[in-house]
A = this chain, B = another copy of it.
């Protein structure tokens, strides 16, 4: 996932709030059997289905217990391959990575709805736009809703029982109307949606934020490698993120792939979130060092499905 500017402030940043239930109310941590102030963490693999390489890496991480959740890009060429893996070896904790963009140079996809019904989402070649800015500029909300709904329904039709909704590159955060659809779809399907406790609502009309957030488990912290400082090792950079995780519900987004010829070509010209980058993420989540760091900081791993059930 690359993140829209509107969401970038949240990622890799430290959001510390102290989750307190209203008087007489349990915190999420308590509902899940932990102390009120426990540090809960979802370790989440983004972009499942975008490439075979990503599916291989994510399958390995799920089977190794290295991640607790992930989300699928339904319009991408390798989604049916992951769905087959899920049916044969799952279920796994998988949400829908609602996708309205196709960001790579030479490897593209469009929506799964008929192009004539989502014309405002597509470029001249019938592909999604590459950037969130273009989505914000062109998207007709009714068409975006049609496509988002189609992605959820397609995943269900192919045997996936989604545990949550989130958003590829944060594109549904691009406009208040899209944000409303995103949250409404989550509530309609009884699914939590990825929504941080702050950093996403500055541009929303007064009052809309509270309406949207009502009843949803907001993330107290959202962590992701955004750009890598070459003076630090990969695990040092993650070590700092993990040390910063506070009480409440947190998510660490990782981007897993095998660094191979396919993934190198998918991500050509994009070293950030590129093929080697994603292999480093895979190596890190599979490492003993990652497990040790989580244990040292007293972090409890949870899944979106646990959050969903506690809603």
Contact = CB atoms under 8 A, between A and B. Distances in A.
Contacts of A258: 261
Contact of A77 (B108, B114, B115): B108
A30 interface: no
Interface string A262-292: 1001100000000000000000000000000
A154 B108 CA distance: 14
B115 A114 contact: yes
B106 A125 contact: no
Interface residues of A, number: 31
Contacts of A83: 106
A199 B107 CA distance: 38
Contacts of A52: 261-262, 265-266
Interface string A78-108: 1011011000000000000000000001111
A247 to B, nearest CB: 41
Nearest to A75: B126
Contacts of A84: 105-106
Interface of A: 51-53, 55-56, 77-78, 80-81, 83-84, 105-109, 112-117, 125-126, 154, 258, 260-262, 265-266
